[in-house]
Structure 1
Amino acid sequence: MFPQMTRTAAQRPNRRSVLRSAAIGLGAVAAGSTLGPLSSLGPLSARAGASPTQLTGKTAVVVGSGFGGAVAALRLGQAGVQTTVLERGRRWPIQADGNTFCTVNEPDGRSAWFSNHPPINQLTRLQTIPRYPGLIDRIAGNGIDAVYGVGVGGGSLAFGAFTPQPRRKDFTQVFPSQIDYDELDRTYYPRAKKMLGTSPLPADLLADPSYKGARAWLDYIKDFGGEPVLHDFCVDWDVVREELAGRKPASYSVGEGPYGTNSGAKNSVDHNYLPSAEATGNVTILPLHEVMEIREISGQDGFEVSVKRIDESGAVLETKTLVVDYVFMAAGSFHTSALLATAKAKGSLPRLNDQVGKGFGNNGDFLIARGLLRRDCGAKQGGPGVALMYDDDNPYGPISMSWEASPFPDIAGGSMMANLIQVISDERGSIDYNPAVGRAELNYPHGEADSDVDARGRNFAGRFHERTETRFGSPATGVPIYTRLADFGSGCTWHGLGGMVMGQAASYEGQVHGYKNLFVVDGSLLPGSSALVNPALTITAVAERCLDHFVESRA
């Protein structure tokens, strides 16, 4: 069905090879094996000359391989820690035929994590697709849905490639004072940008005919009376140029990206952090390995991690238990919080505190579509974006708004645009273990009628329409659509944050309260918001900070 997914029998990992990989990743020192050479990639510590061999002999599991997990894998590997990354999804190597991923308007099993229907795009949501370990896992919550990338690379495979850095004044409004913005700005944001290869949309691409949507968005910002903030994207623009020249499959140049980028233009962490981690010789990545339970070892500081290995049909090939010194949670805000909330409820990690699972936020996201625009934006819009704008004069608090390129159907005729409004709100939900169903659930008690995020989002959508359409004599154009029934508004988030919030369930350096060798380094550590911007860069920078503190404190 999906030729690039099919392995020959010789290519399929057998039980012996997987156990051998686990042994290499977890027990090489105990077995007397010689460690591989340590990588010299990047600074190990920004503040101390910590030797990368001072943790040699220790073992770690990293649960998940997205932004935070990839940072942990690299820095642990550089420090000499024998590290195994457990990733429930598959690898997604870019195929020469341009058919690694499905597309937004033609989804198949590759789109969804073992689901009968595509997870996004209301025009295709009712289609039936084969069940497969696809790219996006949509969590159906009580009051909100949340989507997460699945595969080696985690959320970086499916995110929109937006990597803006928040402004200081917004950051300090959201984050606790113990997280020093100047330190992040001086050390960790630059390090994350360098590793991820971020940069703004180049001028030559902005001028290309495929990018009329980007130019239209800049004109709309001017109409509003705002200033465009040109920010970075996690994109290799040379590959996009190859797309436009016809030498690579059209991906970002036609608005694709949520289901992956067939040209390979997205600088997901499987292109940078993870191969660098594997190059240390101390890191093993095991795809299609799903963590089921984490247990403390009585009288010790280590853990037992129960994991099942599955095939591409979802069948369980084997289960096993790994014993390690350290566990780094990086499975995404929902799954990290769900694993730990379940462990607390079932008594396998009884010392977790009552803040586990609390503080889940949707990053203040409010998605809208604007139709029948008075400007031609192009149906297949070159992207992924260009700039955001801030409205600091908004009477209900500061707001940001960005444009997201989309591959709209041709019937849209270039008259539609998708925009993400972001607000700073205290509105929060939780991830709670429900014994009646035997699993953790996402609970968000803020309906469309009483949600602060929705109310402020709707207000600003109207404000933007009045200033960019109505006052130009065109009130019937650009009317915003934001009903949750169509996956707009705040009903479904790509940026779920919190659940293991710093200063509450964990320390400001990611150490989980109650366990000195258990850490959280993904979006669950953030306080429900990344301060009016998409969170990928901040998750990466905060994870870098956490790993520096870990290495320095344990050296």
Structure 2
Amino acid sequence: MSNRAQVRNSPIDISRRRFIAGTGSLLGAAALTGHATAARAAAVPAAAPIASGAHVPVLVIGTGYGGAVAALRLAQAGVDVHMVEMGMAWDTPGSDGKIFCNTREPDYRSYWLRTRTKAPLNYFLGFPIDRDIPRHTGILDAEEFGGITVYQGRGVGGGSLVNGGMAVTPRRENFGAVLPSVNADEMYGVYYPRANAELGVGTVDPAWFDSTACYQYARVGRKHAQRSGFPFVFVPDVYDWDYMEQEAAGTVPKSALAGEILYGNNHGKKSLQQTYLARARATGRVAVSPLHRVTSVSPAGGRYAVAIEQLDTGGGVTATKTVTADRVFFAAGSVGTSKLLVKLKATGALPGLNDEVGRGWGDNGNVMCGRANHMWDATGKLQSSIPCCGIDNWAAGGAFAEVAPLPTGIETYASFYLSITNNPNRARFSWNAATGRVDLDWQASWKQPSITMAKTIFDKINAKEGTIYRTDLFGVYKIWGDHLTYHPLGGAVLNRATDNYGRLTAYPGLYVIDGALIPGNTTVNPFVTVTALAERNIERIIAADL
């Protein structure tokens, strides 16, 4: 059945234009992989910002997974820590009483310093669905490089604010290709369990999954996968599954069942604000300065001088500061850390950084697609925005595909997927002196291996089911969402740009402790691996360096 025929025959009488007007910037990419009450989102409240001239024992640049782990463990070891975060604190409700806006109705809170949304899935039924918005320091950054758009969380909590919460530990047999210099016995015996416990990871109740309306789309995905002979697996998540069951019962405010994910989640999801960062702040030794952007780090008499810009919510610089720190942890995410280190090396602030800085960056093999199902395979009007299952063809075809939601509020007769593939291509960040910016040399054609690997799953399913690919989700007659990544990794690779624990060895007291350490691919959603590696590294750093 063609896409157009499906629309004509749909029992829902809705015009394409009215649908687009009603949904605005469609969630589509709910697979970003991403608070039991809205009040819980304030678990890491704003504090007095760091003052110019201040000295701190440890400065952590960024508040995502690696930075949050470092802050908590250092504070527990008796070390005072100050964290600086480029994004907002996300602890104050807007005029609608909610901290985060809904994905179907993006407003000023949705995007980082853009005047128009840039949804990962930006077409529907052949029409573009992005909309104009006020420029604001919103929660999702769609950072554009030549050949790829990188989606990143902006705010206290980093990527945990905007991902789908899929908390996946790689299969042990794949780990050697992920982090070849790391002891797998230690990771699987100590650090992965520690990370999963601290993050609050859990799995959907299979019996509830089988009965609830909000996972009808995933059950269709399971049926199609199994009929084509593919292993179907439940995937752990950091969403509060008890809360989601209450959402379905109508006894609590809806969040996952209201399509909240891409621009934050007001209830149910256990972001870093509720886990590592809340525990870190509870020690009394950790302070956080939101809307502060680090521009330079350089040696200063046995310490490090750190230049910082304070921002307003329009992105303007309201103050410039210089503080000193005995130790600095780079935790600004794969892109943020890599760009900063490349700039510091090229401009002479940290010229001793080695030539591996900026190298080994990858997209975790991300590629998206949709399939047009038959009318008898309805996927449901109500879809939970939290994915909970996937199709595993890694060993045979180099692809793992999340069965992802399309929570539009209407029946779409579509199955949607985010695939993680074994794409071998790696890019390099480099300093462009003419523009004063860091460039990335990723090429759009480098996504082709990901498409080929994803096709090992979906070509077979389409052949078995007699279905076709959707061609209206990423442009006009475009099948593959091959223009983006949600999972940036690498740029300061462990045991290459750093030593085997993240030390920048030319500069004692400087460390990398985030996804920049991981060389481009984790075979699954990466944040549990980022967290576990940070747990491993900070334990050694505290024992050996402090």
**TM-score over 0.5 for the pair:** yes
**1:417 partner SS:** strand
Q: Which residue of 1 aligns with 2:454?
A: 460
TM superposition shift of 1:409: 5.5
Greater shift, 253-262 or 518-527, is seen at: 253-262
What is the deviation of 1:488? 4.3
Q: Which residue of structure 2 aligns with residue 37 of structure 1?
A: none
2:434 partner amino acid: A
After TM superposition, the score normalised by the length of structure 1 is: 0.84
Letter paired with 1:209: A
Q: Which is worse superposed, 368-377 or 81-90?
A: 368-377
**Contact 2:422–2:450, Cα closer than 8 Å, also in 1:** no
Question: Cα 1:346–1:212, aligned 2, differ >3 Å: closer, same or farther?
Answer: same
1:361 paired residue number = 362
Selected match of 1:81 from 79, 82, 100: 79
Alignment of 1:152-191 (within 5 A): 152-176=156-180, 178-191=181-194
Is the contact made by 1:226 and 1:390 (CA closer than 8 Å) also made in structure 2? Answer: yes
Name the structure 2 match of 1:336.
337
Map of 1:470 onto structure 2: 463
Render the CA deviation track for 1:189-216: whole Å, top value 9, x for unaligned. Answer: 1111111101111235412112111211
- Which digits, 9 at most, give the CA deviation of each residue in 1:196-251, with x for residues without a partner? 10111123541211211121122122112122222210111122123223343322
The residue type paired with residue 183 of structure 1 is E
Deviation sequence 1:412-463 (CA, Å, 0-9, x none): x231222122222320112211111111122203x33xx2x424424532x4
* Superposition deviation, residue 399 in structure 1: 2.0
Please say if residues 295 and 309 of structure 2, whose CA atoms lie closer than 8 Å, have aligned partners that are also in contact. Answer: yes
CA apart distance, 1:119? 2.9
Cα distance in 1 for partners of 2:236, 2:310 equals 37
The 1-side partners of 2:349 and 2:286 are apart by 27
| 1:343-492 map, 5 Å | 343-373=344-374, 375-392=377-394, 394=396, 397-408=397-408, 410=410, 413-445=411-443, 447-448=444-445, 451=446, 453-458=447-452, 460-461=454-455, 463-472=456-465, 474=466, 476-479=467-470, 488-492=480-484
Looking at structure 2, the residues matched to 247 and 317 of structure 1 have their Cα atoms a distance apart, in angstroms, of 44
Which residue of the other structure, out of 62, 65, 84, is the alignment partner of 1:64? 62
Q: Which amino acid aligns with 2:513?
A: V
For residue 536 of structure 2, the aligned residue among 529, 545, 548 is 545
2:504 corresponding residue in structure 1: 512
**One-letter identity of the residue aligned with 1:80:** G
Distance in 2 of aligned mates of 1:520 and 1:372: 45
2:79 pairs with 1:113: no
What do residues 124-178 of structure 1 show as CA deviations (whole Å, max 9, x unaligned)? 66411001110011111011111110001011001111111101122212321x2
**Which residue type is aligned with residue 106 of structure 1?**
E
| Partners of 1:171 and 1:249 in 2: CA distance | 40
Retained in 2: the 8 A contact 1:343–1:350?
Answer: yes
Q: In 2, distance between residues paired with 1:535 and 1:393?
A: 18
C-alpha distance in structure 2 between counterparts of 1:118 and 1:524, whole Å: 27
Residue 278 of structure 2 corresponds to which residue in structure 1?
275
Contact 1:367-1:420 within 8 A present in 2 as well = yes
Counterparts of 2:290 and 2:394 in 1: how far apart (Å)?
45
- Counterpart of 1:18 (choices 23, 27, 49) is 49
Name 1:54's counterpart in structure 2.
none
In structure 1, how many angstroms separate the alpha carbons of the residues matched to 2:247 and 2:359? 44
CA displacement 1:78-105 (0-9 Å, x = unmatched) = 1111110000111123759662212222
Shift of residue 389, structure 1, vs aligned partner: 2.4
Please state how far the C-alpha of 1:115 moved relative to its aligned partner: 0.7
Aligned CA distance change for structure 1 residues 373 and 142 (closer, same or farther; 3 Å): farther
Q: State the secondary structure of the residue aligned to 1:304.
A: strand
Report the CA distance shift for 1:459/1:193 in structure 2 as closer, same or farther (over 3 A).
closer
Partner letter of residue 537 of structure 2? Answer: C
Offset, 1:387: 1.8
The answer on 1:326 being equivalent to 2:318 is no
Runs of 5+ in structure 1 lacking a partner?
5-10, 28-58
Matched, 1:214 2:218: yes
Q: Give distance in 1, aligned partners of 2:479 and 2:326.
A: 42
Aligned 8 A contact 1:104 1:407 in 2: no
- What per-residue deviation string (whole Å, max 9, x for no partner) do you get for residues 527-554 of structure 1? 1111x20101000000111100101112
Q: How many residues end up aligned between the 2 structures?
A: 494
- Distance in 2 between residues matched to 1:133 and 1:237, nearest whole Å: 31
**Where in structure 2 are there 5+ consecutive unaligned residues?**
1-37, 39-44
Letter in 2 for 1:68: G
2:245 and 2:52 mapped to 1: Cα distance? 39
Structure 2: distance between partners of 1:306 and 1:247:
49
- Counterpart of 1:122 in structure 2 is 122
User: Deviation of residue 117 (structure 1)?
Assistant: 1.2
Distance in 2 of aligned mates of 1:22 and 1:155: 30
The whole-number CA distance in structure 2 between the counterparts of 1:157 and 1:488 is 26
Cα distance between partner residues in 1 of 2:379 and 2:483: 26
Tell me, what secondary structure is at the counterpart of 2:434?
coil
Pick aligned residue for 1:296 from 296, 299, 305 = 299
Structure 2 distance, partners of 1:18, 1:425, is 42
Match of 2:191, SS state, is: helix
Q: Secondary structure at the match of 1:361?
A: coil
Matched AA of 2:333: G
Report sequence identity in percent.
Answer: 33
Aligned-residue Cα RMSD (Å) equals: 2.5
1:30 corresponding residue in structure 2: none
More contact order relative to length (CA 8 Å, sep ≥ 6): 2
Aligned: 1:193 with 2:203: no
